[in-house]
Amino acid sequence: SWSDPTIKIYSPPHFDVEIPDKVSTRLVITGRLLDYNGTGIPNADVIVRVDGVTAEKAKTDENGNFTAEITLDKGYHEIELYYPGSEFILPVSFKKKVEAGDVKVVISNTTVLADKNNNVSAIVLFNEKPLSNARIEIAWNNESVIAYTNDSGVLSFSITPRSVGILPIEFVVLGYREVKTLKSVAETNIEASYDGVLRIRVTDSLGNDVSGIIYVNGKKFLLRNGTAEIKMNGSRFEVYYPGDE
Q: Is the pTM of this model over 0.75?
A: no
Q: Which residues contact 189 (CB under 8 A, 6 or more apart)?
A: 202, 203, 204, 205
Number of other residues whose CB lies within 10 A of the CB of residue 122: 23
Q: Which pLDDT score, from 0 to 100, does residue 235 have?
A: 84
Cα separation, 39 vs 17, whole angstroms: 14
Distance CA 15, CA 5 (A): 32
Question: How large is the average pLDDT for residues 154-168?
Answer: 93
Q: Which whole number is the average pLDDT over 131-137?
A: 94
- CA nearest 29: which of 174, 180, 170, 132? 174
Q: Are 141 and 129 in contact (CB under 8 A)?
A: no
Would you say residue 8 has pLDDT above 60?
Answer: no
Instruction: Check residue 1 and give its pLDDT.
Output: 47
Q: Are 41 and 89 in contact (CB under 8 A)?
A: yes
Q: pLDDT per residue over 30-76, tens digit each?
A: 999 999 889 999 999 999 999 999 999 999 999 999 999 999 999 99
If we measure between CA atoms, which residue out of 61, 59, 48 comes closest to residue 96? 48
Q: How far apart (Å, rounded) are the C-alpha atoms in residues 121 and 184?
A: 15
CB neighbourhood size of 45 (10 A): 15
Give the chain's mean pLDDT.
Answer: 91
**Is the pLDDT confidence value at 2 over 60?**
no
Which of these, 33, 51, 53, lies nearest to 43 by C-alpha position?
Answer: 33
- How far, in Å, CA of 242 to CA of 23, rounded? 45
Instruction: Name 93's bridge partners.
Output: 82
User: What is the rounded CA–CA span in Å between residue 139 and residue 121?
Assistant: 14
Please report the DSSP string for 4-51 in residue order: PPP----B--EEEE---SEEESEEEEEEEEE-TTS-B-TT-EEEEEET
Which pLDDT tens digit goes with each residue over 216-241?
A: 999 999 998 889 999 988 888 899 88
Averaged pLDDT for residues 103-117: 92
In this prediction, residues 156-164 reach a mean pLDDT of: 92
Secondary structure (DSSP) of 50-88: ETTEEEEEEE--TTSEEEEEEE--SEEEEEEEEE---SS
Q: Would you state the pLDDT for residue 44?
A: 96
